[in-house]
Chains A and B, each alone.
Chain A
Amino acid sequence: MNVSIKDSFKKDAIYSVVSWIALLSLYFIFNDHGIQDIITKVAILGLFAMSLNILIGYLGLIAFGHATFFAAGAYTLGLFLQSDFIIEYNIGSWSIPIALSLSVLLPGILATIVGVICIRLREIYFSFLTLAFQMIFYSLILALVGITGGDQGLMGGFPKPPFLGINLGIHFHFYAFTTFIVILAVFLMRQIIESPFGYGLRMIRDNHERPAALGFNIRSHQLLAFIIAGSLAGLAGSLQALLDVGAYPEWAFWSKSAEPLFMILLGGMQTFLGPLLGALIFELLNDFVSANTRYYGLILGLVILIFVLGFKKGLLDWIVIRGRKN
């Protein structure tokens, strides 16, 4: 057992490095900002969707309020970089690394609080409660206008001081850095999912009562998974904030939580990278359709219907069907 974990660690590490180099070469093969932007966006959204899939695919917990943490990460980064803190304490080139770390930590803390309350409920009630918390968070963002800028989001942008030779104002640097962070996060997720902890999650998903009978602490597994998922969503949000040089309350609205659900549906929840594929499909669809018609919703809705009704049995065959009610 020990030998194969070390082996898979090495393999995953190699694949990660190779993937990153492949993405970097793609940058120069397609010497076009449009395509490079797509890859960046897919990386960020893919991270967001994969973090949700820890809960939906591996744990069987359907969280409706996941964008709470995405938005929390975005605002954390934006507010920190806008704050006088940086000037007062002369943080300078440490700004962005610190901002990113905070964008993992603070959403993680938020996820702990929300998770502790929500995990106690079952099924539909869990889902609704996460959604309710998200909408309270959204209302707070709008109400605290002085801090968050309210409905306008964070205005005026924020500085992106260079660090370790990386200048995020330069297009290529931003691309390389973002893809690096995402691949790193995916690598960590992989280790977690393929660890005994990860297999514990699968066990909870598949056999509700039995693990508890064997002395297995279901609640702590669920809570830890919730926290990890929330922290990674926060990271994705902070990258989005760096890309847009701002943070917007729309990212805390309930429709933002639907997006990773679509990606998981489109790409599949059985495989580790499924949501990433879903993010790619979603983003290409988004770009292509909005460039050609105003009725983006119509097309997206039809695509979802096709997947839900057409591939329904195939994609979700083996997810435990708990029936209509509890």
Chain B
Amino acid sequence: MEVLALLDCLSAPACLLSQAVGGLKIGMLLFLVASGLTLIFGVLGIINFAHGILYMLGAYFAWQAMELTGHFGLSVLIGAIGVGIFGLAFERGLIKRVYESNLLIQILLCYAVILIVDDLVMIIWGDEFLSSIGVPEIFQVPPLFIFDAVIPPFHLAIIFTSLLIAILLWMLMTRSRFGSLVRAAAINPKMLEALGINTNFIRYSVFVLGSFLAGLGGALAASERSIVSQMGNSILIESFIITVIGGMGSIGGAFLASLIIGMARSFGAVAMPLFTDGLMFLIMVLVLILRPRGIMGEKK
């Protein structure tokens, strides 16, 4: 354990800032994906174990869009929307059949989809990794120097965009009619049915929203990361950890937990480079033991 290195870093503004910004970037991208996961669980009661696939497809679709249009923003948007459509098909075609089944069946269904789609992307786009879609032109500039810390402007853009989406999501959930319907459906779907509201519509629109968010995370990540089959698996695990820590069903909790995990990754890489993953799971274990409902989850 490199405790000295960690203390050194925490006391130096340059290190503190650059690690913090790095942690924010990691955390915010994770938040986009994890928010979708926790939303789906909160409203539909389904653990979407296939969520990593949505992230991966976001990257692949964005890449394909980039090949066709050459425009960064458009590609990211197309990527995210494409995954939203895929999510719709996925929910209507497969997920809705296992709403009433037990956890084991749901997990197995999702795992089957992971296996299938991981191979499908290889068949469609080839076995090898695809290069990232690249950072948009306006951000191909030298990094900023703030208090001696080196900060690429593009990372600031990602953080800002993710925050914006988080706020929009919060407003949607708390201020709009759709949001109140969704929250009501999470608590008492039967009552809503009795009031003549189409809960089916609510179900799949939530799934589409969750998929869109995951796809957006993948599309944005594709700006820097290479695109390959199974790239969603590690993201899936991290999203799970975040969902558990934040509280399953709580978007606010997912936000906080994403920050925690992002920072843990960033500073953890300084303190214990070989055990960073284990550290995340340790945090998850502690949460499950001490406060299973998570930071902001509801008591059942």
Q: In the complex, are there CB atoms of A and B closer than 8 Å?
A: yes
Which A residues have a C-beta under 8 Å from some C-beta of B?
56, 62, 64, 117, 121, 123-125, 127-129, 132-133, 135-136, 139-140, 142-143, 254, 258, 261-262, 265, 294-298, 300-302, 304-305, 308-309, 312, 316, 319, 321-326
Report A-chain residues with C-beta under 8 Å of the C-beta of B108.
261-262, 265, 304, 308
Q: Is B292 an interface position by the 8 A CB rule? A: yes
Docked CA distance A305–B114 (Å): 11
Which listed residue (B100, B118, B248, B284) contacts A297, Cβ 8 A?
A: B118
A309→B237 contact, CB < 8 A: no
**Among listed B208-216, B257-265, B273-281, interface-contacting one:** B273-281
Q: Is B300 an interface position by the 8 A CB rule? A: yes
Report A-chain residues with C-beta under 8 Å of the C-beta of B300.
325-326
Q: Is B141 an interface position by the 8 A CB rule? A: no
Which listed residue (A143, A261, A297, A321) contacts B102, Cβ 8 A?
A: A321
B115→A139 contact, CB < 8 A: no
Which B residues have a C-beta under 8 Å from some C-beta of A?
44-47, 94, 97-105, 107-109, 111-116, 118-120, 122-123, 127, 237, 240-241, 244, 248, 274-275, 277-278, 281-282, 284-285, 288-289, 292, 300
Docked CA distance A323–B104 (Å): 12
How far apart are A14's CB and chain B's nearest CB, in angstroms?
34
Report B-chain residues with C-beta under 8 Å of the C-beta of A305.
94, 109, 112-113, 116
How far apart are B146's CB and chain A's nearest CB, in angstroms?
34
Report A-chain residues with C-beta under 8 Å of the C-beta of B45.
324-325
Which listed residue (B94, B99, B123) contacts A324, Cβ 8 A?
A: B99
A139→B275 contact, CB < 8 A: yes
8 tightest Cβ-Cβ pairs between the two chains A and B:
A139-B278, A301-B115, A324-B45, A301-B116, A304-B112, A297-B115, A298-B119, A301-B112
Docked CA distance A301–B300 (Å): 34
How far apart are A192's CB and chain B's nearest CB, in angstroms?
22
Which listed residue (B102, B111, B277) contacts A139, Cβ 8 A?
A: B277
How far apart are B286's CB and chain A's nearest CB, in angstroms?
10
Report B-chain residues with C-beta under 8 Å of the C-beta of A300.
112, 115
How far apart are B173's CB and chain A's nearest CB, in angstroms?
19
Which listed residue (B46, B98, B237, B282) contacts A308, Cβ 8 A?
A: B98
Report A-chain residues with C-beta under 8 Å of the C-beta of B241.
132
Which listed residue (B105, B120, B123, B289) contacts A117, Cβ 8 A?
A: B289
Please name 18 further chain A to chain B contacts, defined as beta carbons within 8 Å, in addition to the given A133-B285, A142-B274, A304-B115, sorted by A numbering. A64-B107, A124-B47, A127-B103, A129-B285, A132-B288, A135-B237, A136-B281, A139-B278, A254-B237, A298-B119, A304-B109, A304-B112, A305-B94, A305-B109, A312-B105, A321-B101, A321-B102, A323-B100
